[in-house]
Chains A and B, each alone.
Chain A
Amino acid sequence: MMASSRLGISTALRGLRPSARGQWRPLDQQFRALRLCNDPKSTRCLSTDAGSFEDFLKTQQDQAIQAAPEINLADIVDFRNIFHARAVPVSPSYFSRQPRFNDSYLALQKLMQSYGKLPVVSTSEVERVAWKSLVEFRQMVGERVKASDYVKCLEIVKRLHRIHPELKPPIFVEAFQAFKRDIQPFTNKPNPIRIDWVGRALGIGRRKSSVARAYVVEGNGEVLINGKTLADAFGRVHDRESAVWALRATDRLDKYNVWALVAGGGTTGQAEALTLAIAKGLMAHEPALKPALRRAGCVTRDMRRVERKKHGRVKARKMPTWVKR
């Protein structure tokens, strides 16, 4: 009865006395072994101090554990003729290994059944979306989804995404949200270059640490760079050709005039910056030239920069002379 020792408390809680192993103690006795607080206000207070036998008897009579009242099913409307009830999961996928994925997949299949017959737009015209990768999806649902399954899932998503935007039901936005990446790089579109009231298009190009601003306007082939002619600005013929490569590659040197400002870097850096700048200006005038300029290598910004020097090395990569000892 005395449960002052630690061992005694634990055995009391377990309901088994070391001497009386194998025998059941009734539940009410087990609860009584724990002495409850006298203070009626502090209902949370639970003392494990057993106290005297007289107190024990007193509690037995005064504070009997009261069970919850019986549920009268007749009172609950929906359960009038139901006599058995059990807790049922929201979705049957509860019993699968990957419930959340399965639910999503089934939902998508349902959408496909409903809206699969709507007219579809070609892949090149569809709005570009960055979909979640397998790793990201797994991280989101917390389940080890199989790659093949996820691929099938994405196929449906992409197919539904191709539906004509005017006919796309609004429910798709919510449905696809789970499959889209958090950061959509394709929404980061550059501002379109406009042609101003005198017909100039301003293109900006960068290379290494040079920045070029080129105004491209229709004309007869004159080029001025920082107020100087092309030959004055670049001593090397190669640099001159690079600077106007966009116009040369598209055979339009005699159709446009260029007035450019370049700063920073060295000669070749400035020439390459001009390539990009003039290409952008030209694309503003003739957007259809983009594939041709891309093939000519004028569209992509060359992201290479000078690599920093590292500690322990002489330069970015060069190491000091290797010494055997």
Chain B
Amino acid sequence: MSASNCLRCCLLRPSASAAAAARLRQGMPLAAAVAASFSTTANHSANAKPKPGTRAAERNAPPSIRQGKLFTIKKKKKNDSGARVKSPLPGERKAFRKRILLSNTNALPVPGLTDLGAESMLDPSNVCKVLSLPDDVIDQLRADEAFKTTQCWSMFRKPSMLIRTETVDLITRMHAAAKNNKTLRLVLTGDRVTGKSLMLLQAMTQAHLNDWLVVNIPDAQELTTACTEYAPILDTEPMQYMQQNYVLKLIQAIKKSNEKLLLKLTTVFSHAGLPQNIPIKSPLMQLANSAKEAEGAWAVFQALWQEMTAQGHGRPPMLLSLDGLTHIMRISDYRTPAFNPIHSHDLALVRLFTDHLSGATSLPNGGAVIAATSRNNAPRNPSMELALAQREAEQLGGGKDVPQPQPYLKGYDERVEAVLRNVQVIKLQGLSKLEARALMEYWAASGVLRITVDEKSVTEKWALGGSGIVGEMERASLLTMRF
């Protein structure tokens, strides 16, 4: 005997079969029609046909017999497999692209790896040693955007750095300058992937370890390629331009990176024209927090800057760093209202940096202004290249070796030459064999480099890296599919 529920059975009761036929016509699967126990709407109303006179009824009505069969070409849907793919939210792709991974648990923990201390990078006996970054400094550096996605942080367990002779040289100069309340003005140059950005990171690490204020511009490209909003600062002659959105981001970064110091230090000036009224003796963090929108960001930044560089109020030394110097030494992609191009040095934030780099303004509490050039994605700049080459030659002794400008070359920029007239230059070259060995031993101890580290293999990787250029050595050792 067939039950009324057994619809698959051929012996259907007429009433049940009629109901089943009706459901089939409506397009509903038979099983669903029966097992609708989880739906909150009554089956009847859920599956109700639209009212006869309505548009919905017209739309859903089957074609009449008189119309006959129609030839329809159905549009193919893109994701017809049925899998529901969620497209990423705005900003998710960029965040994924720019994510920094600093730890990899697949790598081995290196035994005997010590953390950096406040004086570690000053000690010449630490040259050719690999020291790791302390955790709190890592957070600060992350806020500074000091880590780059092109660096190999994601291969090791704990982010660590090799202390080179140039590192000790740079840090000693920084320390000496701060001690005498002077400003070190320095440019890091060198070939591609020689470790300029990493040296900047080492300078920032030293600054954080010694409780300096750190203001870092991670990529100068963002300032001059007309990708952020800009607005003219009124009543300036020649017209200066501010970049409020970028400055707002910068303030957030300064806040996060120098949190402890900003909470400790208090304002000494009263500032007018800020979005919020910040009285004297309030913590600098409060001043920084008052920048919530792009509109008042520039004013807040100026106030904050004034406070941070106030002389004689127990302010610590400051490190002002920038990566990608070439981008701020050219005519930017911005245009004036009259559609004339704007020189980068007319952008207020860039001008702030270049004034400090040239020595026109000095940091009252001492510190350092360090810029690193970049060879990847950098336009050629004859003035900058010439100026840096001249400073380098002068440092080495000068005389006949100092390169001179080419007499018939156009494109020299006087403003650029003026900025770089009195800077110090450190040119980064390949590692020495000992430094290379120390680095390779660290790689091998982490389990990333699976060869025996002896003199032969060190020389081999050193030679393949173009006489010890770090990035090329990494390419030849870590980023290969061999071993």
B455 surroundings in chain A (CB, below 8 A): 254
Whole-angstrom CA separation of A240 from B477 in the bound complex: 13
- Chain A residues with CB below 8 A from B472, complex form: 231
Contact B463 A244 (CB under 8 A): yes
Q: Are B466 and A248 in contact (CB under 8 A)?
A: no
Residues A230 and B464 in contact, CB atoms below 8 Å apart: yes
Instruction: Say yes or no: A253-B459 contact (C-beta < 8 A), given A230-B466, A230-B467, A241-B464.
Output: yes
Contact B466 A220 (CB under 8 A): no
Complex-state Cα separation, A124 to B240, whole angstroms: 86
Q: Are B460 and A222 in contact (CB under 8 A)?
A: no
Which of A232, A253, A254 is in CB contact (< 8 Å) with B466?
A: A232
What distance in Å separates the Cβ of B464 from its nearest Cβ neighbour in chain A? Answer: 5
Task: Chain B residues near A229: list those with CB within 8 A.
Answer: 430, 466-467, 469
CA distance A244 to B466 in the complex (A): 12
B456, A240: Cβ atoms under 8 Å?
no
Given the known interface contacts A229-B469, A251-B456, A253-B456, the answer about A237 and B476 at a Cβ–Cβ threshold of 8 Å is yes
Q: Given A229-B469, A230-B464, A231-B472, are A220 and B459 also a contact pair (CB < 8 Å)?
A: yes
Of residues 157 through 177 on chain A, the ones whose CB sits less than 8 Å from some CB of chain B are none
CB–CB B463/A237 < 8 A:
no
* Max chain B Cβ within 10 angstroms of own Cβ: one of A223, A231, A240: A231
* Those of B443-483 within 8 Å (CB) of chain A: 455-456, 459-460, 462-467, 469, 472, 475-476, 480
B272 to chain A, nearest CB (A): 56
Residues in B195-246 with C-beta less than 8 Å from chain A: none
Residues on A facing B (Cβ under 8 Å):
220-223, 229-232, 237, 240-241, 244, 248, 251, 253-254
| B contacts, CB < 8 Å to A | 191, 430, 455-456, 459-460, 462-467, 469, 472, 475-476, 480
Best-buried of B464, B469, B472, B480 by chain A (most CB within 10 Å): B464
Q: How far is the CA of A230 from the CA of B463 in the complex (A)?
A: 7
CA distance A250 to B460 in the complex (A): 12
Q: What separation, in Å, do the CA atoms of A231 and B463 have in the docked complex?
A: 8
* A231-B459 CB under 8 A given contacts A237-B476, A237-B480: no
7 of the cross-chain contacts (CB-CB < 8 Å) are: A220-B459, A230-B465, A231-B465, A231-B467, A231-B469, A253-B463, A254-B460
CA distance A248 to B459 in the complex (A): 10
Bound Cα distance from A230 to B472, whole angstroms: 10
Asked if A253 contacts B475 (CB within 8 A), the reply is no
Establish whether residues A248 and B469, one from each chain, have CB atoms under 8 Å apart when the complex forms. Answer: no
> Nearest residue in A to B460 (C-beta to C-beta)?
A253
Q: Are B480 and A231 in contact (CB under 8 A)?
A: no
Q: Which residues of A contact B462 (CB under 8 A)?
A: 221
Instruction: Rank and list the top 7 A-B pairs by shortest CB-CB distance, nearest first.
Output: A231-B466, A254-B459, A229-B466, A231-B472, A221-B459, A221-B463, A229-B467
Collect the chain A residues with CB atoms within 8 Å of residue B476's CB. 237, 240
A125 and B414 CA atoms in complex are apart in Å by 75
Contact B464 A222 (CB under 8 A): no
The answer to whether A240 and B191 have CB atoms under 8 Å apart is no
Q: Which residues of B contact A231 (CB under 8 A)?
A: 464-467, 469, 472
With both beta carbons as reference points, the residue of chain B lying nearest to A222 in the complex is identified as B467
Instruction: Find chain B residues with CB under 8 A from A253 CB.
Output: 456, 459-460, 463
Complex: A231 Cα to B430 Cα, angstroms: 11
The reply to whether A240 and B464 form a contact with Cβ atoms under 8 Å apart is: yes
Provide the residues of chain A in CB contact with B191, threshold 8 Å: 232
B457 CB to closest chain A CB, in angstroms?
A: 9
8 Å CB contact of A237 from B430, B456, B469, B475 = B475
User: Does A254 lie within 8 Å of B456, measured CB to CB?
Assistant: yes
Q: A285 to B2: give the CA distance in the assembly, Å.
A: 99
Bound CA–CA A221/B456 (angstroms): 10
Given A237-B480, A253-B456, A223-B475 contact (CB < 8 Å): no
| A248 and chain B: residue at smallest CB distance | B460
Q: Considering the chains assembled together, what is the distance between the CA atoms of A223 and B465 in angstroms?
A: 10
- The distance in angstroms between the C-alpha atoms of A209 and B421, with both chains bound, is 47
User: In the complex, given contacts A229-B467, A230-B467, what are 18 additional A-B residue pairs having Cβ atoms less than 8 angstroms apart?
Assistant: A220-B459, A221-B460, A229-B466, A229-B469, A230-B464, A230-B465, A230-B466, A231-B464, A232-B466, A237-B464, A237-B475, A240-B464, A244-B463, A248-B460, A251-B456, A253-B456, A253-B460, A254-B460
Distance A237 CA – B191 CA, assembled complex (angstroms): 17
Most buried by A among B460, B463, B476: B463
Q: Nearest-CB distance from A57 to chain B (Å)?
A: 114
Provide the residues of chain B in CB contact with A223, threshold 8 Å: 463, 467
Min CB distance, A109 to chain B, in Å?
59
Min distance, Cβ A216 to any Cβ of chain B, angstroms: 13
* Closest residue on chain A to residue B455 by CB atoms: A254
CB distance from B386 to the nearest CB of A (A): 21
Taking CB atoms, residues of chain B closer than 8 Å to A241 are 464
CB-based nearest B residue for A237: B476
Q: Which residues of B contact A222 (CB under 8 A)?
A: 463, 467
Q: How far is the CA of A253 from the CA of B455 in the complex (A)?
A: 10
Q: Which of chain B's residues has its CB closest to A253's CB?
A: B460
Give the one of A220, A248, A253 with max B CB within 10 A: A253
The closest CB in chain B to the CB of A232 belongs to B466
Complex-state Cα separation, A230 to B467, whole angstroms: 8
